[in-house]
Amino acid sequence: MMERRRSRAPALLPLALLLWVTASGASAARVHYLEIEPNMEPVSKPLDEELNRGFSMPEAVPTIVDQAYGFQPEQIHLTYWGSPDKMAVSFVTADAQMPLGPPQLLLLPPFKAYVKYGLSNDTFDKNATCVTTSYIQDQYNWNKSPSYVSPYISHCLMTGLPAGARVWYMVGWPELDTWSPPFNFTTYNATENFPFVIGVIADLGTSFNASQTMRQLERTKPAPKLLLNMGDMSYADIYQPTGNQGMNPKEFRYKLGYQPRWDMLGRMLQNLTKCVPMMTTPGNHDVEPQPDGTVFASYTTRYPVPVDKDEVLTLLNKHSEGHPSPDNGLYYSFDVPGVAHFFALTSYIPNDTFSKDTQQYKWLEGDLAAVDRKRTPWLIAFFHAPIVTSYEDSFKQVECMRLTYEPLFYKYGVDLILNGHVHAYERSKPVYNYTLNPCGAVHITVGCSGKPGIETGSYALDTKFVDAQPQAPFCQDPKLLDKKPNPMQPLRCHTYQPDRGGFCWNKQPEFSAYREAAYGHGLLTLLDRGTAVWRFNRNNDHLRRPADSFVIRRAKNSPCPNRADIWP
């Protein structure tokens, strides 16, 4: 299946690469410094509109039902804490409450949660206390809907782990002698981690299709060592448990959505996340603005990220004290030694201007300047909304972000940019500023891991390309897209390519290598400094038959100035 067709590759090289190679006097057939090889011919499967529904799993389905009693831990997930000797584990205890009245912050238990861990399944010689918290979503003061008081949410940090070792752990409450079963994970090696397999998901929710995506990933061999989840985690904000679905949102009973879907998501993920760390970045459906201005309450309370390498809960503590700090923890980075530097951004910082004066931009400048490509030869970005897409839905929605950030990505030679948001699959050729460029990044949208549909009406996956005829009205008048700023609608910028269609495109843009609406997940295998293999696996296909796959192959004498230092 990983068959390569070298003979075909030159014909498929980006035009810009051929021009560069020719101009430099080298042979186009031999000097491939960023060679993109399709190792198969992708064939679109037409999407049966009848199947494009994304039905949410009913609450009684075992995959998402609460099977934990009393203080039994559930929704267990690992977060890689930035170096091989550290791993965070999070879990949930007890039941959510949905009072028909103003929510009260939950009284925390008078004793602490613990993680105990060690190198075998019956010797847990180390332990650490966990930080336990809870969040509220006030719907009562909004429209007299039931509010939500979360269960206890605990985060624990395991430290001093040996590199490249199988670690066993249990989480629970020693005072009650209530523990999870022992689970195990393998820590990364201290310096060498090739080949490194990454499972890539986004826009999951708790549909049957999302569950199918996770089961596919669970069956992947070799198992992924890391999961990247590019946001729109639960879609709790648009879920309605009874009635009015697909009707006028003004009539929704739960104006701010139905928070228990977050708990269901945690259960659906646990099979994988209890043994494979998952790194997250939020999407627009994770903003969840509340009447008092709180944003990201559920996301930040449930999914910690390694902002502070020594502590799990700096951000969350601030949050639970009623001081949401939206910038803190919404962007971060981490290294997998010897393999890659990863960084997460967000397009949904309230009122973000995407200018170079923002905290997020300044942070990224400093972060990228500090990357040592000899130690981490791959540079991978992941965030929710794509800056390069040719689907009609969300087209150029974060164009302001692209205008500011793409030059920085290019300067530092970002290899891959992984996104969701558009509920479909698309893979670009190496591109910079909408022009093919062998030193540019490959953009991949995988916003199709399980987006739930709205039962009585609309579709789930996005099927319309921006170059489709007849074109959307906004192609003639992009001002139709402008809306009042709100946290879920990033600031708009409009750019034009007069020779190629204007605001939209008049045909599939050159940069767009392959696009298809299908449920599935991505699998990225970083084989060595010079080679990466990407696959997109449809849910309905056998894992060994990817829907799309390509290889990035980098020659040692790479003349891309922005990747000059990837070789020792």
Ligand X SMILES: *[C@@H]1O[C@H](CO)[C@@H](O)[C@H](O)[C@H]1NC(C)=O
Q: Which residues bind ligand X (CB under 6 A)?
A: 51-52, 63, 114, 116, 121-122, 127, 164, 174, 182, 184, 186, 188-189, 192-193, 208-209, 212, 225, 267-268, 271, 275, 350-351, 407, 433, 485, 497, 519, 539-540
Q: Which residue's CB is nearer to Fe ion, number 230 or number 551?
A: 230
For the record, the structure tokens of 350 come out as 């309230």
Residue 12, classed as helix, strand or coil, is helix
Query: What is the C-alpha separation between 114 and 156, in angstroms, rounded?
Result: 7
Q: Which residue's CB is nearer to Fe ion, number 140 or number 459?
A: 459
In the list ligand X, Fe ion, none, the entry touching 12 (Cβ below 5 to 8 angstroms by class) is: none
In the list ligand X, Fe ion, none, the entry touching 540 (Cβ below 5 to 8 angstroms by class) is: ligand X
Shortest reach from residue 15's CB to ligand X, in Å: 16
For the record, the structure tokens of 249 come out as 């949102």
Shortest reach from residue 507's CB to Fe ion, in Å: 26
Footprint of Fe ion on 64-103 (CB under 5 A):
none
In the list Fe ion, ligand X, none, the entry touching 188 (Cβ below 5 to 8 angstroms by class) is: ligand X
Q: Which residue's CB is nearer to Fe ion, number 16 or number 454?
A: 454
CA dihedral 299, 407, 436, 7 (to 10 degrees): -80
Q: Which residue's CB is nearer to ligand X, number 399 or number 415?
A: 399
Residues 434 and 16: beta-carbon distance below 8 Å: no
In the list Fe ion, ligand X, none, the entry touching 203 (Cβ below 5 to 8 angstroms by class) is: Fe ion
Residues 236 and 56: beta-carbon distance below 8 Å: no
Bond before 151 cis per omega within 30 degrees: no
Q: Which residue's CB is nearer to Fe ion, number 137 or number 234?
A: 234
Q: Give 380-425 as a 3 state SS string.
A: EEECCCCCCCCECCCCCCCHHHHHHHHHHHHHCCCCEEEECCCCCE
In the list Fe ion, ligand X, none, the entry touching 232 (Cβ below 5 to 8 angstroms by class) is: Fe ion
For the record, the structure tokens of 321 come out as 């004290």
In the list ligand X, Fe ion, none, the entry touching 138 (Cβ below 5 to 8 angstroms by class) is: none
Query: What is the C-alpha separation between 346 and 357, in angstroms, rounded?
Result: 16
Q: Which residue's CB is nearer to ligand X, number 9 or number 17?
A: 17
DSSP label at 161? P
In the list ligand X, Fe ion, none, the entry touching 433 (Cβ below 5 to 8 angstroms by class) is: ligand X
In the list ligand X, Fe ion, none, the entry touching 407 (Cβ below 5 to 8 angstroms by class) is: ligand X
Q: Which residue's CB is nearer to ligand X, number 32 or number 319?
A: 319
In the list ligand X, Fe ion, none, the entry touching 314 (Cβ below 5 to 8 angstroms by class) is: none
Shortest reach from residue 193's CB to ligand X, in Å: 4
148-149 and 114-118 as β-strands: parallel, antiparallel, unpaired? unpaired
Query: What is the C-alpha separation between 231 and 258, in angstroms, rounded?
Result: 17
User: Beta strands of 81-234 (E only): which ranges?
Assistant: 87-93, 114-118, 126-133, 136-137, 148-149, 152-158, 166-173, 178-179, 183-186, 196-201, 226-229
Q: Which residue's CB is nearer to ligand X, number 192 or number 528?
A: 192
Q: Is 203 in the site for Fe ion (CB under 5 A)?
A: yes
Which amino acid is present at 145?
S
In the list Fe ion, ligand X, none, the entry touching 225 (Cβ below 5 to 8 angstroms by class) is: ligand X
Query: What is the C-alpha separation between 297 and 326, in angstroms, rounded?
Result: 9
Q: Which residue's CB is nearer to ligand X, number 9 or number 200?
A: 200
Query: What is the C-alpha separation between 484 and 388, in angstroms, rounded?
Result: 23
285-303: b or e for each residue (b if 16 or more CB lie within 10 Å)?
A: bbbbbbeeebbbbbbbbbb
Shortest reach from residue 2's CB to ligand X, in Å: 19
478-491: b or e for each residue (b if 16 or more CB lie within 10 Å)?
A: beebeeeeebbebb
**Per rule CB under 5 A, count of chain residues that contact Fe ion:** 2
Shortest reach from residue 191's CB to ligand X, in Å: 9
Footprint of Fe ion on 213-242 (CB under 5 A):
232
Q: Is 462 in the site for Fe ion (CB under 5 A)?
A: no
Contacts of 222 (CB under 8 A, 6+ apart): 195, 197
Query: What is the C-alpha separation between 168 and 181, in angstroms, rounded?
Result: 10
In the list Fe ion, ligand X, none, the entry touching 530 (Cβ below 5 to 8 angstroms by class) is: none
Shortest reach from residue 18's CB to ligand X, in Å: 20
Shortest reach from residue 300's CB to Fe ion, in Å: 18
Stretch that binds Fe ion, among 53-61, 180-188, 200-208, 465-473 (CB under 5 A): 200-208
Stretch that binds Fe ion, among 196-204, 213-221, 258-266, 540-548 (CB under 5 A): 196-204
What residues does 77 pair with on adjacent strands? 90
Q: Which residue's CB is nearer to ligand X, number 39 or number 90?
A: 90
Shortest reach from residue 456's CB to Fe ion, in Å: 19
Q: Is 288 in the site for Fe ion (CB under 5 A)?
A: no
Q: Which residue's CB is nearer to ligand X, number 70 or number 407?
A: 407
Residue 283, classed as helix, strand or coil, is coil
Of 228, 292, 250, 281, nearest in space to 449 by CA: 228
Q: Which residue is nearest to Fe ion (CB)?
A: 232
User: Beta strands of 159-284 (E only): which ranges?
Assistant: 166-173, 178-179, 183-186, 196-201, 226-229, 278-280
Q: Which residue's CB is nearer to ligand X, number 39 or number 346?
A: 346
In the list Fe ion, ligand X, none, the entry touching 127 (Cβ below 5 to 8 angstroms by class) is: ligand X
| Residues making contact with Fe ion (CB under 5 A) | 203, 232
